[in-house]
Structure 1
């Protein structure tokens, strides 16, 4: 049947309304699970500060995040807009999954099933943070969408679009390169290997290279800091990752919806209707093997799953369509929603920090208290990274007020790490205080060098011994009160230093050059 006004088939119209409803629910949900007790995450402050230092590359991420941050700045730079974009990218990913189900001739039940699994999974937790991850997953899903279109239609334009998506994806996060490697290997091992004789594939590669060329040039000019960043990540964080845990976490990511992922694998291997797309299970296998070998963090592979949710939902719908089995549909929906609803308070920053600390056992059983150092703490690491930042910014502002006005042009504001520096620059914007510096992450290239320094306002711990001898007078002007924040546990406070040696600027410049050279691999 067709609608009498739009002329569209009724099931398409119903599907469109359902999709719109899920997008609205998704956007509302992402804000509903954010308690006002929490601030932004340490990484979010760095990413937002990139808008003040636009470039073709950065130490920690490619440049797309910086331009997204510039847009956030134009919109007001407030909490709503910071959180809006990861939620939006999650909603767009869900819409792509919905269209994939439609392409596979799935009905409204398969679409609802796929959307619910996406919503009631670890994806929603990732979509609360302003990090490159949400757009990364969207880019992976878009690349799979282009691959599906090409496998079905054999139209060469989709090879060109694959190049566009890959280029934009790399400008957001280098992680998508691992998908490209897995996809290239799977296509080469399948019956689709003749694609390597298609000139449009190489044209698409050329498009991707043109898109990422500015970032490649930046990396070469700065000594390929991405290599140092990967080495540092491997030595400080990935060394604590277990390969077995990585594999086990893949299904835990979906909780009650894991059966849909399993159904996708079975369907892609055995279902004749999925035969044109069978290479996708090869892409999944090769990429997972690569990540396992590299001891990757569990969420690095998250972008592999949206396409599997589409296939799994369609396969599951076909199984439970005939006779009495159709009445089991509500059971499968409940199996997805109920476990997720029971765990919302531990997956998301809904509970107050003190409440989480009191119920630490529940969080520990789920492995949520383990930080990147391999140890268990009072709060999940992401939650502890959302506390204490405004307090530090206020301490810096109050300490700055104690500097004589005539000496303020010769006062250095320095922090121990990028989270502190980014938070100070975010919360102190509009106050008469200079931008904060740090000899950490991207701030090593943004550092405001000074030939004359009369005062130092420091946020963090006491200076190292080599600098103490150049400081005549030092006073601690602030102590953190938020005992559950990550910065409190590292001993962060506020310090005012004066009677400085004239040798101090040169010593700081030397330390800064050494740090820059490390990032440049020299």
Structure 2
């Protein structure tokens, strides 16, 4: 093994092992993770929320049993690969062991510690963007077509992962046009690379076109319900906070890429950051949308610092160890926000210390006792178990004619995940991609409707022969606290028609749909 490859591999292993060790099992999976895991039972070329790459990971996870280890395997894998690529980028830019450690440590203790813990498309996006920038650096040094082909494949997979990859590609295009790197546009390899990326994305693109481009409606809903609460000032304040332990690294890294003579060949990478962040600012993007643009700046910043310190040997002997300790010192106070170290009761107290940083602000723009991510990782198994017991209490002869209807995708996904090994019908919802998986109610004779809702209808009694409350989520820390599990037996025709109508109306909002 080449000595130069050992340190990046050690960082890879450190990231993988520490991610598992620093995760408290006092928390369950996140609301979004249950939705993405449900994708694995409905493989398709597209979903209303994201493209299909996450579904493939979900399918593998469920095939391996669906346990906590395998759910977390994917984000931890992509995070570990990202820190490896960052370390290799440092070496490509001429950095030594100190620079590799500086960039790697900054990645390990910044917001990626939290991001790479959740089974969501975001971890792969950060990896894909970092890899793309690394490949651009490689091509600028060697001009080998293979780097462009790898770039095309990487960006194609990024498009199969999240549509926000289009913003990165737009920023890349602008960066190429504004720098001498534009000469790559005249090469055959570049256009073959573009064809590779488009070819990978094409099945999902066709799915979008066939289904009326639901991505547009998804973005509109996201804007109206969440992004409208994000201001440009808040977005940029969060940019300073999320990567605070690496602020001393990424700011010089960006400036060096844009202005220094030594890194001039790689200016396109700095412009990608500028273009991508400008797009996200204009579109009121959430702060974490920008996380994919920073890791490569860590690499550039580490190389810049190492060169500055090498010119001042005496100061360097003092500053080198101090600068390596700096990200650790800065991140220790916010470790409770990076890792699920504290159980919920303790987090109530800890969270108040960071109120001014906005960590208690939820998507509704209001502050709450726990950070939203933490509250979204509680109460799900309680809900699923109580739903199972409510189902088991139904008469055996009519139990199979039960519709389980939930108010949102988190409830449906959690019920399906925790009951995946039990003989029980799947839970459904009018929320998100569950619209595609809803059973044909006209072909079924429902004897019971099991309703899971955080805002239950008070008029249910008139719609059933018998209604009773079977359970309630009581976890005081859960975002779903108070969610009721109601069993209605003997539904009348009006409620059945209402269910069918609500399903059709929800589908109609997304455009013209064909079958999956």
Normalising by the smaller structure, the TM-score range is: over 0.9
Between 1:317-326 and 1:464-473, the stretch displaced more is 464-473
The answer for the alignment partner of 2:467 in structure 1 is 474
- Distance 1:449-1:394 versus aligned 2 partners, 3 A rule: same
The answer for the alignment partner of 2:16 in structure 1 is 27
The answer for the alignment partner of 1:87 in structure 2 is 76
Using the TM superposition, give the Cα deviation of residue 202 of structure 1 relative to its aligned residue in structure 2, in angstroms. Answer: 2.3
1:100 to 2:93 alignment:
no
Using the TM superposition, give the Cα deviation of residue 20 of structure 1 relative to its aligned residue in structure 2, in angstroms. Answer: 2.9
Check conservation: 1:439, 1:515, Cα contact below 8 A: yes
After superposition, what is the alpha-carbon deviation per residue over 1:264-294, rounded to whole angstroms, capped at 9, x for unaligned? 1232233222111112222211111111111
Unaligned runs of 5+ in 2: none
The answer for the alignment partner of 1:141 in structure 2 is 130
The answer for the alignment partner of 2:293 in structure 1 is 304
1-side partners of 2:7 and 2:278: how far apart?
36
1:326 to 2:320 alignment:
no
Unaligned runs of 5+ in 1: 1-5
1:63 to 2:56 alignment:
no
Check conservation: 1:256, 1:339, Cα contact below 8 A: yes
Matched ranges for 1:241-256 at <5 A: 241-256=230-245
The answer for the alignment partner of 1:430 in structure 2 is 421
Matched ranges for 1:88-167 at <5 A: 88-167=77-156
TM-score of the two chains, using structure 1 as the length reference: 0.94
CA RMSD of aligned residues (A): 1.7
The answer for the alignment partner of 2:450 in structure 1 is 457
Partner SS state of residue 131, structure 1 = coil
2-side partners of 1:24 and 1:156: how far apart?
30
Using the TM superposition, give the Cα deviation of residue 360 of structure 1 relative to its aligned residue in structure 2, in angstroms. Answer: 3.8
TM-score of the two chains, using structure 2 as the length reference: 0.95
Moved over 3 A (4+): 461-469
1:392 to 2:383 alignment:
yes
Check conservation: 1:346, 1:363, Cα contact below 8 A: no
Within the candidate set 310, 316, 334, 1:343 is matched to: 334
The answer for the alignment partner of 1:3 in structure 2 is none
Using the TM superposition, give the Cα deviation of residue 466 of structure 1 relative to its aligned residue in structure 2, in angstroms. Answer: 7.6
Within the candidate set 22, 26, 50, 1:37 is matched to: 26
Check conservation: 1:83, 1:130, Cα contact below 8 A: yes
Check conservation: 2:93, 2:303, Cα contact below 8 A: yes
The answer for the alignment partner of 2:216 in structure 1 is 227
The answer for the alignment partner of 1:383 in structure 2 is 374
Matched ranges for 1:143-222 at <5 A: 143-222=132-211
The answer for the alignment partner of 1:510 in structure 2 is 501
2-side partners of 1:511 and 1:468: how far apart?
19
- How many residue pairs get aligned? The number is 509
The answer for the alignment partner of 1:284 in structure 2 is 273
Partner SS state of residue 407, structure 1 = coil
After superposition, what is the alpha-carbon deviation per residue over 1:201-231, rounded to whole angstroms, capped at 9, x for unaligned? 2222221121111111211222111111111
